[in-house]
Structure 1
Amino acid sequence: MADTAIDYAAVFQALPGMVALLTPELVYADANEEFLRMSGRTREQVVGRYLFDVFPDNPADASASGMRNLAASLIRVAESGERDSMALQRYDVESVQRPGEWEERYWSPVNVPVVGPDGSVMLLIHKVEEVTELIRGRERAPDDRARVLEAELYTRARELQEVNERLREAHAHEREVALALQTAMLPAPHPIGHHRAAVRYQPATDALNVCGDWYDLVDLSGADRIGIAVGDVVGHGLAAACVMGKLRSALSAASLVADGPAEALDALGLYARSVDGAENTTVVQTCIDWETHTITYSSAGHLPPVLLGRDGTVAFLDQATDPPLGARPEHIPRPEATLGFTEGDTLVLYTDGLVERRGEDIDHSLARLADALTRHRRSAPEPLADALLLDLLPSGRATDDTALVIIRL
């Protein structure tokens, strides 16, 4: 058996349960034999056709919403990359032999994403179990108790569906508030002397995944020195946005009086111990000095900034990395490193949403970033920021926030 290739197409067709594959646009890509048999459809009537063209809701029943609920679930899976087990659904099926006649059916669906190498959702697995006979109780309990059970289960399923809808509305409202708070606390872009810089904040598309990413740019004492930081708070929603605001303000103040990035992160780490939800925050602080043409940096568990040379060379600033905030029970001074730069080089700081993909090794993610920077090395900061977001973020389906700062040195 080890030397025999498995025919997964044959396995898919032989599965004992009803399974179909759909594209993120809700077009049937395939369906196994059991799905076709139980739904009373041929392959030609299903594959290559839009969901609602194959199984529309009963137009004669104003309360029919099963297929709309299924479509909403599939869209959520496509956008979030997470599986969704739906509540019991009633969606009637039109007879192929007798058009216009609809049979009352009950289904228990589960929808699962198939994620491609780039982290985007390529296909949707739609597994469904028909429970019509169980609900009706025709075979096991052909009496009034079966009808009572049917009514009770259906009522509970509709109640659960309504609760889920209210929860999604609440999460959507929380997303709006969190985004407004986050945007208000992030500094607006402003000129940094004669140096060109670009900043971006790209929120996640999922309503549940608004996070605590931030960036900060601070003019430091001295003739020509600035501090740049990016950070990422663990967690989602309004709570993460509030923690982000506290830590960003504290680090901004600390960087003005600290003797370098490591000391600023030391002060931030001590402060974070008093902030609920600040533990395991990652952050990197840099200090750019144009008099000495050096970048001094320190990282608390954050992904390394990148120095892009004028000739296209790429160097990751990874020589001063320490655990995230609050990861150690005792206080230990953080490391610090310094790297020289040449006028015309570009410094890029970012959060993990720009590069990390589910199931992908981080070295591969960073290599993809390095390749994009090399290809766009002649771009100024503003078009470079747009190019990186376009190249590296999954199209329309970002599952994590992204903060990005680019400065021409």
Structure 2
Amino acid sequence: MPAGIDYEAVFRALPGAAMLLTPDLVIADVNEAHLRLSGRPRNGQIGRPLFEVFPDNPADPHASGARGLEASLRRALATRAPDSMPLHRYDVQAPGRPGVYEERYWSAVNAPVIGPDGEVQLLVHRVEEVTELVRARRAEAGAEREQMEAQLYSRARELQEINERLRRAQAREREVVLALQEAMLPAPRPVGHHRAAVRYRPAIGALNVCGDWYELTDLPGDRMAVGVGDVVGHGLDAAGVMGQLRSALGAAALVAPGPARALETLGLYARSVDGAESATAVQLTVDWTTCTVTYSSAGHPPPALLHSDGTVEFLDRATDPPLGARPEHVPRPEARTPFTEGTVLVVYTDGLIERRREDIDVGLGRLSDSLTRHRGADAETLADALLAELLPPGGATDDTALVVIRL
């Protein structure tokens, strides 16, 4: 150690704030820089416990400056090695203003002083206030945040305008599609001397409409052909395909010997229509002379017969894959079932019964229960009741076609 150096004078003259503490964390000495920084007189600090002189703000339940400093000092004592503290907040009571604490930020290092006996005699607490730096960084961050928020707001406005233009375009397309749908679907009218209740409900989405259709055809004798189908896809393209398939099935029903042959003809035709792949359809022939319903299904939900005793029979004994699903032509199955006077035939598309992440049997169960509850209603009333009970309150995500005939 160089002779003649007054280390006490050096300690007091250090430009950085420093404090000497005993192992019991009692203030042994402070230099001039620390006195200026703390704003407290020397005689108000020397010999007093550190956290009695510099307590945490009692009004702030989240204050942790004293706790963090004590933990660092204890580590320096235990390890006998310097401990650098991360930047931390430690509010200090304003000089001459009891109970008033000022927000302050610090960077500190705590180092042990080892005596000849190998024990820690003192702790050096060197501290640098960085409050102004933190405030400057905070102001910069605030300015950057404001700039970013302004940019995000501007971008949000742009996206809002784009979405609004898209919404208007979709609304216009929806109007066109629904007008086309209305023009292509037959209006409710008697077929022969029998009347059917028909309904079409578009989906709630602007473009999720116009894949479903129905066709009623008067046949020779006291017979009626009923066709219902669903095209994969939505919008104008689906509307065009729907119109072609509906017309083709209506024509096939007039010349084919039964529903299965009519669907076979439609399937062959569908291979030449872009967008008709995997469309579903069901074709039925109602014969009031023999009191039978003959049917065939191409991947379509099964029609339902509501008998006069309230029981419901699903016509599912002649089901085959959707149109165009097979690479080669295969004859389609056909089944026949009798009915009695007063039986109700219900033919529909999947929008009436299917829900996302739900087994189709659940939807068929809802339909069966609703039919049983309303078994005494006429066809028009029953059609309205089914739509009211089975479609979601906010509207379905798929369009729905429905035909109800009291046989």
Q: TM-score, normalised by structure 2?
A: 0.63
Distance in 1 between residues matched to 2:235 and 2:374, nearest whole Å:
34
Superposition deviation, residue 179 in structure 1: 0.5
Aligned equivalent of 1:232, options 230, 253, 263: 230
Cross-structure match for 2:155:
156
Cross-structure match for 1:328:
326
> Would you say 1:193 and 2:221 are equivalent positions?
no
> Would you say 1:283 and 2:281 are equivalent positions?
yes
Superposition deviation, residue 182 in structure 1: 0.4
Distance in 2 between residues matched to 1:392 and 1:402, nearest whole Å:
11
Cross-structure match for 1:374:
372
> Would you say 1:218 and 2:223 are equivalent positions?
no
Is the CA contact 1:211–1:234 (under 8 Å) kept in the aligned structure 2? no
User: Rg bigger for which structure?
Assistant: 2
Instruction: Evaluate the alpha carbon distance shift between residue 343 and residue 161 of structure 1 in structure 2; reply closer, same or farther with a 3 A threshold.
Output: same
1:194-244, CA deviations, whole angstroms, 9 ceiling, x for partnerless residues? Answer: 3232111111222231131111100113x1111001111111111111111
Distance in 1 between residues matched to 2:237 and 2:137, nearest whole Å:
50
Is the CA contact 2:214–2:227 (under 8 Å) kept in the aligned structure 1? yes
Q: How many residues align?
A: 272
Superposition deviation, residue 154 in structure 1: 3.5
Distance in 2 between residues matched to 1:165 and 1:210, nearest whole Å:
20
Aligned equivalent of 2:359, options 345, 358, 361: 361
The correspondence of residues 379-390 of structure 1 with structure 2, limited to 5 A, is 379-390=377-388
Distance in 1 between residues matched to 2:138 and 2:328, nearest whole Å:
67
Distance in 2 between residues matched to 1:143 and 1:404, nearest whole Å:
60
Instruction: Evaluate the alpha carbon distance shift between residue 158 and residue 312 of structure 1 in structure 2; reply closer, same or farther with a 3 A threshold.
Output: same
Cross-structure match for 2:291:
293
> Would you say 1:312 and 2:306 are equivalent positions?
no
Identity of aligned residues (%): 70
Superposition deviation, residue 326 in structure 1: 1.6
Is the CA contact 1:213–1:231 (under 8 Å) kept in the aligned structure 2? yes
Where in structure 1 are there 5+ consecutive unaligned residues? 1-136
The correspondence of residues 337-356 of structure 1 with structure 2, limited to 5 A, is 337-356=335-354
Distance in 2 between residues matched to 1:203 and 1:152, nearest whole Å:
39
**Matched residue SS, 1:196:** strand
Q: Between 155-164 and 311-320, report the one with greater CA deviation.
A: 155-164
Superposition deviation, residue 142 in structure 1: 4.8
RCO comparison, higher one (Cα < 8 Å, 6+): 1
> Would you say 1:202 and 2:235 are equivalent positions?
no
Distance in 1 between residues matched to 2:283 and 2:393, nearest whole Å:
30
RMSD of equivalent CA atoms: 2.0
Instruction: Evaluate the alpha carbon distance shift between residue 310 and residue 139 of structure 1 in structure 2; reply closer, same or farther with a 3 A threshold.
Output: same
The correspondence of residues 1-400 of structure 1 with structure 2, limited to 5 A, is 139=138, 142=141, 151-221=150-220, 223-400=221-398
**Matched residue SS, 1:211:** coil
Is the CA contact 1:232–1:282 (under 8 Å) kept in the aligned structure 2? yes
Is the CA contact 2:228–2:347 (under 8 Å) kept in the aligned structure 1? yes
Q: Which amino acid aligns with 1:345?
A: T
Distance in 2 between residues matched to 1:336 and 1:167, nearest whole Å:
46
Distance in 2 between residues matched to 1:328 and 1:290, nearest whole Å:
34
Distance in 1 between residues matched to 2:288 and 2:358, nearest whole Å:
37
Instruction: Evaluate the alpha carbon distance shift between residue 376 and residue 150 of structure 1 in structure 2; reply closer, same or farther with a 3 A threshold.
Output: closer
Where in structure 2 are there 5+ consecutive unaligned residues? 1-135
Superposition deviation, residue 174 in structure 1: 0.8
Superposition deviation, residue 393 in structure 1: 1.2
